[in-house]
Structure 1
Amino acid sequence: MFNRYPMLSRTGVFLLLPLILAVLYTFSWVKSTIFEEDSSFTVQGIEQDISVTVDEFGVPSIDANSDSDAFFAMGFLHAKDRMWQMEVQRRMGKGETAEIFGRSSLSQDIWMRTLGLHAVAEASWENYDDDFKAAMVAFSAGYNAWLAQTDELPVEFSLFNVEPKPWTPVDSIVIGKLFSLMLSFNLSRELDAVRAMSLLPEQHFRALYPDIPQAHISTSLAEQTSLDIESNYAQLQAQRFGKQKDLGSNGWVVSGEHTTNGVPILANDPHLGIELPSMWYAAKIKGDKINSAGMTFPGLPFVIFGKNEDIAWGGANFTIDKQDVVLHEFNPNSPNQYASSTGWKPLDIEVQQIHIKSEFPDALRTKQPPYELFIARTESGPILDYVPGSLNGMSLKWTALDATDLSLKALLQLNYAKDWHSFRSALSHLVSPSLNVFYADRAGNIGMSASGLIPIRKVGQGKVPVPNTQFAWTGYVPWEEMPYIYNPPEGFIANANENYLPTSYPYFVGSDWAEPTRANRIKRILKKRIDNGQKVDAEFNRVMQLDVVDDNVRHLQRILIEQYGFNPEQAIRKGFLTWDGDMSSDSPYPALYVSFIEHLREELVRPHFKLAGTGSVLDDRVSSLVSRVETGTLLRLLEEEPYWCIKQSAQQQQTCIAVINSAFDKAQAELTKLVGSNPDNWRWSEIVSREYTHRPLGDMEALKSSFKTYISGDGTPHTINVANYRFDEDDGYIQNAGATFRHVFELTPDISYHFINSTGQSGHIYSAHYADMMPMMHTNTLIKSTESKSQYTLNLRPAE
C-alpha cells in the first residue's frame, strides 16, 4: 500500500500521526490523574500517622489514632476519588452550575438559590455542637490537603475550565441538604393535585386523589400554580427517581431465632436515580472512638448506613409530609408586603446575580451578562415564583429550611451508637430527610425506628396549598410518640416505604406512601420461610434482593378473567393470563406486561384530561401527571371505577374491554417495532437497559459513548429488585432508577458485612474501579469485607 500510493501514505501519516499522538497524550495525561499505588504524603492538619489500606475493589480502610485524623483521611479520600462529583454537588446546592455548564443549567440555579440551601446551611452551622464542627473541619482539611498536593485534577475540570475551591464545613451541610431534597416529594404532590383538579372532571379527580376533598382546591388556586415551579422541581426529582413515585427502598431485619447462625441479619438496598459514579462511597473508618464501616456520601465524613462494633443499621424513606405550599397575597399599594393573620408584613427581598458561561466555543462568543434574580422570603419560607410587582405568590414551608435542622448530627452519632437506647437517641436529632431506620445488635435485638420532624398543622393536613392568613405549624410530634418497632413477636421487620402505622396513631404523618406490593412480597417470603421451619442466612437474603416477581400481575389477571371475562383467542394472550409474574421469565410475557400497563395508562387515564394532545407546555404537564398514576391505582380504576372506560354511547363493560384490547394491540405493535414480530424475541431483559450516566458529560452527544454505560435491566417499580424506567422510541425501555447499593449484615461477634456498590469506588473514567462493581451489582455478587485482598496502601504523615 505504502509503495503503491506514496502520496496517499505520506498524507495519511501527516494527518493521522498528530491525532494518534494527541490521543495517546490525552490518555497518558488522564491516567496520570489517578493515584492507585503505594504512596506516602506529608500533610498539614493531622496529629499522627494515618494508614489507609485500599482493597482490590478500591474500598479504603482508614486506621487512625484519633477520630479527627480519621475524618481528615475521609476528606482526603473523597477528594482523591470523587472530587468532580463533589464539585458538581456543591455548585448545585449553591446555585452555581451555570457558571460552568452554561444557560442550560440556569433554571436549576434559579431554583436552588430560591430555596436558599446554602444560606440555610450557613445559619445551621452556628447551631451545631463542637464535636460535630470538629469532624467537619477535619474532613474539610483532608479534602484541601489532597487539593494542595495534587498537580493533576480529574479530566472534567480541564474540559470545563474549572478551578476547584477549597472545601468548607458549610459545603458538607449543603450536601446533606441536597440528600434531603432528593427524598422530599410533598411539594410536587401538592402541585400535582392542584393541576389535576383544573384538568379533570370532578368524579375522576376524586378517584385519583381520594384523600383530597376537591372543595379545598379553588379554580383561582389552580390558575396561580406556576408551571415553572412544577417543571424545575419535577426535573430535579426525575433525575434522581424517574417519573413514578413508588421508588423508595427495601429493608428488613430477621431475629436470630430464625437464622442459620443464631444471630440477627439485616438487609437493605436504597433506591434512587442511578448515576456514574455511584452517589455512594464504601469505606471503613477507625479512630480512637469511631469504628464503623458501610456507605458514606461523598462530602460527608461518616457512614450513613452501615455498622460499628455493636450494631448495624440501614434506612428507607419515611414519607412524612414535611413540605407545605403557602399562598400569599401582596399589598397592591405596597408590593413589598404580604398579607398575614396579623396584617401586612414586609417581604425580605434580596437580589443575586447568576453568572452564565458562554456557549462553546466561548472564546468566539459574546460574554453573557449575569442573570439578575429577585428572591423574596416570608415567615413561612421563600417565594417560589416571585416576580417584582406581582399580586400573589407561593412560598415553601419545609422542615429542612430551618436553621435548627441539625440532621447531620444524627447521622454522625449513629456511628457511635452502642444499643437501642443510644441508637434512638441519635435519631432524635434527625429533621430531614425522614427515614425508617432498621436496627440489629450483637445482643440479639432487632428494631426499626421512624425519624424526622412531623409537623402539626393549624389548618388541614398539608395536602393542598393553604392561604398564609390561615397557615401555621403549631408544633411537631414529640419524639417519645414517634413510631417504632422493637423485637416483634413475628421475629422479623420489613418495610418498603409503605404505610405501616396503625389506624389508631393520633397524628397525621403523610399520604405519599408507596404501594404495599413490594413490602407485602418481602413479608410473605420471610413469613413462608419461617413458617416452614427453614432458617434464613446471608445467601437467602442476597437472592431475595434479586427477586423480580411483580405481584400486580396476578391482580391484573384476576380483573381480566373474573370481571371482564377476558378470553382472547391469541395464544400469546392466553399464556399471559397464566404467567406467574416473574420478570426474569424466558418468555414474551414480562415485556408484554410492561408495555401493556404503559398503554393501558394512556388509554384509560389520558383521555379524561383537558387539553391532552395539544403539544403545549401544559400538555407536557399532563403527560407527567398521567405517568405518575401507579400500577395499583390503575388496576383499582379498572376494577372499581369502570366509568373511566366510558366513551360516547357505549356500555361500560364493552368499553373497558375495548380499552383493554386496544392497550394489548398497541403493546404488541410496540414490541414488534422494537425487536420484530416473533414473540420469542420479546425478552424483557433484551428490551430494558439500565443506564448509568455521568453528569453532565453523559448527556452530551459527542461524549456520551465514553460517559454513559448500559447493561441489561430487570424488574419493575413493584418488584423487590426495583427498576424505574422511561420509554425511548428507538432504544426501548431505559431504567434510570433502582437499587444504588445493597448490603447484608450478620450480627456475629465481629458483625459480618456483605455489600456491593452500584458502579465503582472511583470517579475517574480510566480507573480500574470506575465501574468494576457494575456487573457484580447486576448479579448481586456481594463482597465480604473481611475477605477482600489489599491492593495498595496510602500513608499520611504529619508535617513537622
Structure 2
Amino acid sequence: MRLLFRWLVRLVSFAILAGVLAVVVVYYLGSRSLPDYDKRVEVAGLSQPFEIVRDNSSIPHIMAETDEDAFFGLGYAHAQDRLWQMTLLRRTAQGRLSEMFGTRTVETDKLLRRLDLYNLARQSVAAQDTRTQAALRAYSAGVNARIDEINQGSLGRGAPEFFVFGAELAPWQPADSVALVKVLALQLAGHLQEEVLRARTSLALDDEERLADILPDIPGSGVAALPEYASLAPGLPRFAEAQPQAEGALWPAPKRGLAGASNAWAADATRATSEGTLLANDPHLGLTAPSIWYLARMELSSGGVIGGTIPGIPAIMVGRSETLGWGLTSSYLDDQDLHLEELNPDNSEQYRGVDGWRRFETRRSIIEIKDAPPVTVTLRWTENGPVLPGTQFDLGTITPPGHVMSLSWTALSPEDTTMSAAMGIMHAGDVDEALEAGESYVAPSQMLTLADEDGVAMKLLGRMPARDANHQSQGRLPAPGWIEANRWQGTLPYRDNPEFTEPAGGIVGNTNNKVIDRPFPDHVSFEWGDSQRVRRWRALMQGREVHTRDSFIEFQLDTVSEAARTLLPLIGADLWFTGEAAPEGTPERRRRVALDLLSEWNGEMNEHLPEPVIYAAWLRALQDRLIRDDLGPLADTYDRVEPLFIERVFRDVDGASAWCDIVRSAAEESCTDIARLALDDALVWIEETYGTTLASLRWGTAHEAVHEHSVLGEVPVLRYFVNIRQSTSGGDFTLQRGATSGDETNPFQNVHAAGYRGVYDFADPDSSVFIIATGQSGHFLSRHYDDLGQLWRRGEYIPMSLDPELARAAAVGITELVPTE
C-alpha cells in the first residue's frame, strides 16, 4: 500500500511538472512574438530615418518626413500588433480559410470565391490614383519589413495563432488592402438578406396586406405598392409547405439586423459654446477581440491626422486633422439586387437573357481543405452578377424550379476606387475638398459627416444604382433578370447623392435613419436602420441652444430607449392598474411586481437596473406570440424586436391588430390577452434563466458585451484568456447602441456596438478624445490587449492630440526605423 502511494505521488508530481513545463513552453513561444516597441531597426524601402512613438496607450505616432515613409510606418505598426488579424481578413477575401480551419469554413470560402472579391480587388489596384498607389506600395513594404524581421529574428512567427494554425506569412500586396475594403463592404451589406426575408414572408402570409405590418416602412411618403412575390416567381409553394434550408457559416456576411449601424453628428460654431465646430462619431460593427479598430496618428504632407484605422488598410478611416474632422455611418443605400435567372431546360450552361439564351461565364476554382480532400467549385456569372447557390442565405426557399439566383452589387466593381476616396478625404483640408474626394467612393456606401473650422456638412458616399422606373419589385424582391426593366441601368452621377451643407440650424447628423424622401427610382432605400435613435438624438440636440464637447460625449453615451417609452404604455395600457391582489408566489403576483417596476421606469437601459431585462424579455415574447402562428418556423428569423411592427399592431394601424388573434384557436384573442400571456412567458423565462427575484436582476448580466477571439475563442481554457466580456448599458435602440444577438440561449448579449468613439472640438483640437473597445494589441499576452476596454465600458475616453511632445511624455517605447545602407 505504501509503495502504491509513493507511485501515485510520483505520477501526480510528474503530471504537475509536465503541466508547468507545458505552460512555460507555451508562454515562451507566445511571448516571443510580443513586439518590442523600444528599438532601432534597419529596413529597406525608406527614404530617410523616422520614429514611431508609442504613447501610453500604445497608439503609434508616426513622425515621418514623407507620405510614403508614413504609410510604411503604419504598415509596420499594424503588422507589429495585428498581423494575425490582417492575415485572417486577407484569407477571408481570398476564400482560403479552409486551408487553416478545415471543413467548417468551406461555405464561407465558396461564397467569397463566387463573389470573386479578391480578383476584383487585384484589378482595382490599377484604377487608384497615383498618390493612393504609392501609399499602397509603401504600406505593403512596411508590413513586409515586419514579416522579414519576424522570420530573421525568430520572433514567434509574429503571433501565437500562427503556431496553432500554421498559416504561412506571405508577403503583403497592394491588392490585399483593396480586398479588405471589399470584405468590409460585405460586412456592411444587408439588402440581400432583406430581399430574401421579404420574399419568404410574402410566401408565408395568407394575407399579403399584412406584409406592411411585419416589415413596415419607415414613416414617410413615396413608397409604391409591391406585387406578391408569388407573381414574380411562379411555381414556388407557400412557405407553410416548404422547409428552410440549412445555411453554412457565412462570415463575414452579416446576420440580418447586424449589417451596419453608427452615429455621427456635427454642430457649427453658431451652435457651440466655444464658437468652434464639433463632431462626434461612433461607427458600429461586430464586437471582436481584438477590435476591428486600431488607433494611429500619421504626419503627412497635408499635416497630422489621427483616428481609427482598420489593420490592413492604409488610411485613417475616421478621425481628424488640424483643420478637418470626418465620421462615417452606414447609409443603408439599396446597393444590392437579387435576380431570378431562368435556366435553359435543354442546356443547363445557359440562362435566359433579354434577347435569348446566353451562356454563363464560368470558371472552376479549387478550395484546399485542411485534413480533407479539396473541393472544386464552378463559379458562374450572368450579365447581372455572380450566381449564388440555394444553400446560402436560404435562397433555395425562394428560387422556383428551373431557376438560379444572381446578385447585382456595387462592390463587384473591377474599378473600385474607394481606397482613393478614403485617401483623398484623409488629405483634405476642409469640407469642400473632402466632399470632392468622396466622388471616387464606390462601396460600402456611407454617410460622410464633416466639420472644418468654418462649417459642417453631410453627404452620402457610394455609387447609387440606376434603376428603371418600371422595375417590377423596385429592388425590394428578387425579380426576373431577363426583363430589361429589372436590370440596373448603370449608376447615378455623384451629384445625385443626397448632400446637406450649410444647414440652417447649424447641425447635421445621422443615426442610420431615413435621410431623404424621393420617389423610386431616385430613392436611396426603402430599408433603414431604425426610427427610434434619431428621435432621441433630435430631442437631445434641440434641447440645448449650444453644445460642448462634453454634451456630445453625453449623447454618445445616452442609454434611454425611445422604443421602450413608446411601446410600454401601449402594450400595458389595460394591464397596468387593473390587477387584483394575489398571493405571494403566484403568476399573478409576479406579473404585478413586474408591472409595478416598469411603471416607475424611464426607459433607461442601464446595466444596473432590472427593468430593462423585464422589458426586453416581454417584448421578445410578445413578438413571438404575435407572429408564430402566422409565420411558423420563419418566425425564428425575426429574432430581434421590430418596434414599428408592435406599435402598428397595438395602435391597430390599417387593421394590424389582426395579428393578436391566434388563427388556430376558436376564441378571438385581443391584444391585451396576448400582452398578458407574453408577460407571463417572459417572467417564466426570467425565472428559469436567472433564478432570482425580479428586483435583483441586472441588465448588464444579460446585455454582456462579448468580444470573442475569432479562432481561439472556443478553445477550452484558452478562451478565458482571449475573450473579453463586459457588463454594458444600452440596447438595440439607444444612442449608446449595443445590438443584441437574438440567439435562443443568450438573446440579449451585446454583439454589435461602437468599437470606436471619437469627439472632436475644433475650438481646442487637442481636447478632442477617442477610445476603442479593446486594446491596440492583438496579442493576448500583451497588457495592451484589453487595457482600453474598461475605459470604453465605463464611457471614458483618452486624449486625441497631434502634439508630438505629449506622445513622447509618457511613451511606452520609441521605434526608430532607418534605411539599410
C-alpha spacing 1:94/1:523, structure 2 compared with 1 (3 Å)? same
- The DSSP-based 3-state class of the residue aligned with 1:121 is helix
> Could you give the per-residue CA deviations for residues 365-402 of structure 1, whole angstroms, max 9, x where no partner exists?
xxx21111011111111111289xx9421111111101
The aligned residue for residue 177 of structure 1 is 182
Asked whether the equivalents of residues 270 and 739 of structure 1 are also in contact (C-alpha less than 8 Å), the reply is yes
Partner residue of 1:165 out of 170, 174, 178: 170
The aligned residue for residue 542 of structure 1 is 553
CA–CA distance in structure 2, aligned partners of residues 4 and 19 of structure 1: 22
> Could you give the per-residue CA deviations for residues 142-197 of structure 1, whole angstroms, max 9, x where no partner exists?
10110011122211011012211111111111100011111111111111111111
Asked whether the equivalents of residues 193 and 256 of structure 2 are also in contact (C-alpha less than 8 Å), the reply is no
C-alpha spacing 1:221/1:236, structure 2 compared with 1 (3 Å)? farther
Asked whether the equivalents of residues 188 and 233 of structure 1 are also in contact (C-alpha less than 8 Å), the reply is no
C-alpha spacing 1:586/1:177, structure 2 compared with 1 (3 Å)? closer
The aligned residue for residue 43 of structure 1 is 43
Alignment map for 1:615-630 (pairs within 5 Å) = 619=633, 622-624=635-637, 626-628=638-640, 630=642
C-alpha spacing 1:6/1:98, structure 2 compared with 1 (3 Å)? same
Partner residue of 2:476 out of 454, 463, 476: 463
TM-score scaled to structure 1, two decimals? 0.91
The aligned residue for residue 33 of structure 1 is 33
After alignment, is 699-708 or 166-175 more displaced?
Answer: 699-708
CA–CA distance in structure 2, aligned partners of residues 386 and 515 of structure 1: 29
Partner residue of 2:363 out of 350, 364, 376: 350
CA–CA distance in structure 1, aligned partners of residues 554 and 756 of structure 2: 15
C-alpha spacing 1:703/1:147, structure 2 compared with 1 (3 Å)? same
After alignment, is 779-788 or 248-257 more displaced?
Answer: 779-788
Answering whether residue 244 of structure 2 is matched by residue 231 of structure 1, we say no
Structure 2: which amino acid aligns with 1:264?
T
Asked whether the equivalents of residues 244 and 627 of structure 1 are also in contact (C-alpha less than 8 Å), the reply is no
CA–CA distance in structure 1, aligned partners of residues 246 and 267 of structure 2: 41
> Could you give the per-residue CA deviations for residues 458-510 of structure 1, whole angstroms, max 9, x where no partner exists?
24221111212213222323222321112212221221001121457981211
> Could you give the per-residue CA deviations for residues 73-117 of structure 1, whole angstroms, max 9, x where no partner exists?
111111111000011101111110010001000011011101110
Asked whether the equivalents of residues 724 and 735 of structure 1 are also in contact (C-alpha less than 8 Å), the reply is yes
The aligned residue for residue 445 of structure 1 is 455
Deviation at 1:337, TM superposition (A): 1.7
The aligned residue for residue 19 of structure 1 is 19
The aligned residue for residue 297 of structure 2 is 284
Partner residue of 1:220 out of 234, 240, 245: 234
Answering whether residue 117 of structure 2 is matched by residue 103 of structure 1, we say no
Answering whether residue 70 of structure 2 is matched by residue 70 of structure 1, we say yes
After alignment, is 491-500 or 58-67 more displaced?
Answer: 491-500
CA–CA distance in structure 2, aligned partners of residues 746 and 377 of structure 1: 49
C-alpha spacing 1:742/1:571, structure 2 compared with 1 (3 Å)? same
The aligned residue for residue 362 of structure 1 is none
C-alpha spacing 1:176/1:252, structure 2 compared with 1 (3 Å)? same
The aligned residue for residue 155 of structure 1 is 160
After alignment, is 540-549 or 505-514 more displaced?
Answer: 505-514
CA–CA distance in structure 1, aligned partners of residues 105 and 544 of structure 2: 50
Answering whether residue 564 of structure 2 is matched by residue 553 of structure 1, we say yes
Answering whether residue 524 of structure 2 is matched by residue 509 of structure 1, we say yes
Partner residue of 2:611 out of 567, 589, 605: 589
CA–CA distance in structure 2, aligned partners of residues 110 and 577 of structure 1: 51
The aligned residue for residue 339 of structure 1 is 352
Deviation at 1:753, TM superposition (A): 2.6
Deviation at 1:258, TM superposition (A): 2.6
After alignment, is 769-778 or 731-740 more displaced?
Answer: 731-740
After alignment, is 77-86 or 680-689 more displaced?
Answer: 680-689
The aligned residue for residue 112 of structure 1 is 112
CA–CA distance in structure 2, aligned partners of residues 189 and 710 of structure 1: 30
- The DSSP-based 3-state class of the residue aligned with 1:755 is strand
How many residue pairs were aligned?
A: 769
Answering whether residue 647 of structure 2 is matched by residue 632 of structure 1, we say no
The aligned residue for residue 396 of structure 2 is none
Deviation at 1:560, TM superposition (A): 3.2
Asked whether the equivalents of residues 54 and 793 of structure 1 are also in contact (C-alpha less than 8 Å), the reply is yes
Structure 2: which amino acid aligns with 1:373?
V
- Unaligned stretches of 5+ residues in structure 2: 217-222, 392-400, 581-591
Structure 2: which amino acid aligns with 1:220?
P
CA–CA distance in structure 2, aligned partners of residues 386 and 596 of structure 1: 35
Q: CA RMSD in A?
A: 2.6
Alignment map for 1:236-247 (pairs within 5 Å) = 236-238=252-254, 243-244=256-257
After alignment, is 520-529 or 782-791 more displaced?
Answer: 782-791
Asked whether the equivalents of residues 753 and 784 of structure 1 are also in contact (C-alpha less than 8 Å), the reply is yes
C-alpha spacing 1:750/1:729, structure 2 compared with 1 (3 Å)? closer
The aligned residue for residue 322 of structure 1 is 335
Asked whether the equivalents of residues 186 and 252 of structure 2 are also in contact (C-alpha less than 8 Å), the reply is no
Partner residue of 1:194 out of 192, 199, 220: 199
- Unaligned stretches of 5+ residues in structure 1: 359-367, 613-618
Asked whether the equivalents of residues 79 and 147 of structure 2 are also in contact (C-alpha less than 8 Å), the reply is yes
Asked whether the equivalents of residues 114 and 375 of structure 1 are also in contact (C-alpha less than 8 Å), the reply is yes
Asked whether the equivalents of residues 193 and 209 of structure 1 are also in contact (C-alpha less than 8 Å), the reply is yes
Asked whether the equivalents of residues 567 and 574 of structure 1 are also in contact (C-alpha less than 8 Å), the reply is no
Structure 1: which amino acid aligns with 2:234?
S
Asked whether the equivalents of residues 197 and 222 of structure 1 are also in contact (C-alpha less than 8 Å), the reply is no
Asked whether the equivalents of residues 93 and 117 of structure 2 are also in contact (C-alpha less than 8 Å), the reply is yes
Asked whether the equivalents of residues 270 and 315 of structure 1 are also in contact (C-alpha less than 8 Å), the reply is yes
Deviation at 1:579, TM superposition (A): 1.8
Asked whether the equivalents of residues 52 and 793 of structure 1 are also in contact (C-alpha less than 8 Å), the reply is yes
Structure 1: which amino acid aligns with 2:598?
F
Partner residue of 1:377 out of 369, 381, 385: 381
Asked whether the equivalents of residues 303 and 415 of structure 1 are also in contact (C-alpha less than 8 Å), the reply is yes
Deviation at 1:71, TM superposition (A): 0.6
Deviation at 1:729, TM superposition (A): 6.7
Deviation at 1:701, TM superposition (A): 4.2
Deviation at 1:577, TM superposition (A): 3.0
The aligned residue for residue 794 of structure 1 is 815
Structure 1: which amino acid aligns with 2:813?
Y
Answering whether residue 482 of structure 2 is matched by residue 472 of structure 1, we say no
The aligned residue for residue 727 of structure 2 is 712
TM-score scaled to structure 2, two decimals? 0.89
Answering whether residue 325 of structure 2 is matched by residue 312 of structure 1, we say yes
The aligned residue for residue 210 of structure 2 is 204
CA–CA distance in structure 2, aligned partners of residues 445 and 506 of structure 1: 32
Asked whether the equivalents of residues 144 and 166 of structure 1 are also in contact (C-alpha less than 8 Å), the reply is yes
The aligned residue for residue 615 of structure 1 is none
Deviation at 1:750, TM superposition (A): 4.4
The aligned residue for residue 124 of structure 1 is 124
C-alpha spacing 1:256/1:54, structure 2 compared with 1 (3 Å)? same
- The DSSP-based 3-state class of the residue aligned with 1:715 is coil
C-alpha spacing 1:222/1:689, structure 2 compared with 1 (3 Å)? farther
C-alpha spacing 1:350/1:528, structure 2 compared with 1 (3 Å)? same
Asked whether the equivalents of residues 638 and 644 of structure 1 are also in contact (C-alpha less than 8 Å), the reply is no
The aligned residue for residue 682 of structure 1 is 697
Asked whether the equivalents of residues 188 and 234 of structure 1 are also in contact (C-alpha less than 8 Å), the reply is no
Asked whether the equivalents of residues 294 and 305 of structure 1 are also in contact (C-alpha less than 8 Å), the reply is yes
- The DSSP-based 3-state class of the residue aligned with 1:124 is helix
> Could you give the per-residue CA deviations for residues 419-467 of structure 1, whole angstroms, max 9, x where no partner exists?
222111111111111111111112x211111111111212422111121
CA–CA distance in structure 2, aligned partners of residues 749 and 340 of structure 1: 60
Answering whether residue 596 of structure 2 is matched by residue 574 of structure 1, we say yes
Identity of aligned residues (%): 28
Alignment map for 1:386-785 (pairs within 5 Å) = 391-442=402-453, 444-458=454-468, 459-460=470-471, 461-470=474-483, 471-503=486-518, 507-530=522-545, 535-560=546-571, 567-569=578-580, 570-584=592-606, 587-609=609-631, 612=632, 619=633, 622-624=635-637, 626-628=638-640, 630-640=642-652, 641-647=656-662, 654-701=669-716, 703-726=718-741, 733-748=748-763, 750=765, 752-785=767-800
After alignment, is 99-108 or 578-587 more displaced?
Answer: 578-587
CA–CA distance in structure 2, aligned partners of residues 174 and 529 of structure 1: 44
The aligned residue for residue 296 of structure 1 is 309
Asked whether the equivalents of residues 571 and 650 of structure 2 are also in contact (C-alpha less than 8 Å), the reply is no
